[in-house]
Amino acid sequence: MMKMKLVKTLLLLLCVKLFCYAVIGAPQTCPANNEDKCGDSDEWKGEFFPDIPKIKYEGPSSKNVLSFKWYNAEEEILGKKMKDWLRFSVAFWHTFRGTGADPFGAPTKYWLWEDGTNSLNMAKRRMRANFEFISKLGVDFWCFHDRDIAPDGKTLEESNANLDEVVALAQELQTKAKKRVLWGTAQLFMHPRYMHGAATSSELKVYAYAAAQVKKAIEVTHYLGGENYVFWGGREGYQSLLNTDMERELNHLARFFEAAVAYKKKIGFNGTFLIEPKPQEPTKHQYDWDAATSANFLRKYGLTGEFKLNIECNHATLSGHSCHHELETARINGLLGNIDANTGDPQVGWDTDQFLVDIQEATLIMLSVIRNGGLAPGGFNFDAKLRRESTDVEDLFIAHIVGMDTLARGLRNAAKLIEDGSLAELVRKRYQSFDTEIGAQIEAGKADFELLEKKVKEWGEPKVASAKQELAEMILQSVL
């Protein structure tokens, strides 16, 4: 009996001890600004990515998954270094805030440096991880949303204070690492206050709150030396026209942009303002549906001199266009400013934000970039995330390496097409009838209908030449 009591006592003590270990070892959860009650240090012993070396160019024959096969930063292509054509940027929100969660499942990614909190100190730890990551990847830029890098507070003042503290660390780290901000933005779509939109909200107080949040986001982007500032109107649109005054909302959006331009000039921020088109999701119909719609909006309100477009490839396909179409539409309107380098899944009907791996699409993208003379002060930011099933830290690097190599290979292919000249010659020949005297008159606006009618009677029935589409596709395939 005594032995049984002793065994029970020892088992009880063991259970208590194991429980204590479990409580101590469990990840803490606490709100932002919990006055150091949890998440009490942003320090991280050693490296965040100790098993990952600095990624280097090893050429197409390399079997090392942690190396570049096509992206050679210092190599010159058509008179510019590859890094200057591409100007790669890591997107903080997907790379360091992406959890793998989706509408049907819980998070799948649990990075070692995360402690389960949304504390200010946890935000600082993520920022340190960010700069180690981009330094090892060999990328010069990063980009962010305000609420992704710093926790939301209970008041605007508290949110601003949180942001100031994290931005001060970011400034210190990027100076040391010699990195720059490609662009910053305000997250005006996640908080419940923005359920009817931000600049197009039916509530005046929400409009004002959005203005205050953008004001602060512009200030910190300016402080960090950001080269651009992006407006993505995730909820600037409508679900039904039955309860929506579309004209009034569009006018409000224009006034919002005008005020942003005025404030930008007031504080001396010289970065480019960018609008990012998207057709729907989360809003049923968004006001910046595609590049053409956005260009028309800017023209109507006299804003074309103040804004350019940030084209996202996955958004292009959702609007029924190719990424190449959207880039060319932006380019010929003088509005191509930046590219979100991602793609969607043709079998999935939503914005999946996958890393771009299609060499042909990358080649067409780079043709537009070269014709544009480059993207600076814009660039390519990887608004792309790991698949839900990819859960190793190594996968963060592999995904970016593949994305960078794909666009670098696209650049090499586009340069070959331009240097070869066959595709350009095919296009020139297709329109050569307009290189005549009467063609020049038409293009100069000096050929009226009477003149053209007279010419038709003189020429008779036109002979229409082949478009040679298959030959154009053959030429493209020859460089892939």
Active-site positions read 145
Q: Which of 111, 90, 301 is nearest to 199 (CA)?
A: 301
Could you say which DSSP state residue 243 is in? G
Q: Which helix (H) or strand (E) holds 89?
A: strand 88-91
CA pair distance 238, 284, nearest whole angstrom: 6
CA pair distance 35, 102, nearest whole angstrom: 32
Q: Is 193 helix (H, G, I), strand (E, B) or coil?
A: helix
CA pair distance 105, 118, nearest whole angstrom: 20
Could you say which DSSP state residue 311 is in? E
CA pair distance 475, 418, nearest whole angstrom: 11
Using left for φ > 0, alpha for ψ between -120 and 50, and beta otherwise, residue 140 falls in: alpha
Q: Which helix (H) or strand (E) holds 142?
A: strand 141-145
Q: Which helix (H) or strand (E) holds 340?
A: strand 336-340
The length of the chain, given as a count of residues: 480
Q: What's the longest Cα–Cα distance across the chain?
A: 121
Other Cβ atoms less than 10 A from the Cβ of 211: the count is 18
From the DSSP assignment, how many helices (H) and strands (E) are in the chain? 17, 14
Residue type, 101: A
Alpha helices in 29-118 (DSSP H): 82-86, 92-97
Residue type, 460: G
Could you say which DSSP state residue 268 is in? T
Alpha carbon separation from 111 to 79, 394, 417, 469 (Å, rounded): 41, 11, 43, 49
Alpha helices in 373-432 (DSSP H): 393-420, 422-430
User: Six-digit token pair at 476?
Assistant: 């493209």
CA pair distance 152, 149, nearest whole angstrom: 10
CA pair distance 418, 397, nearest whole angstrom: 32
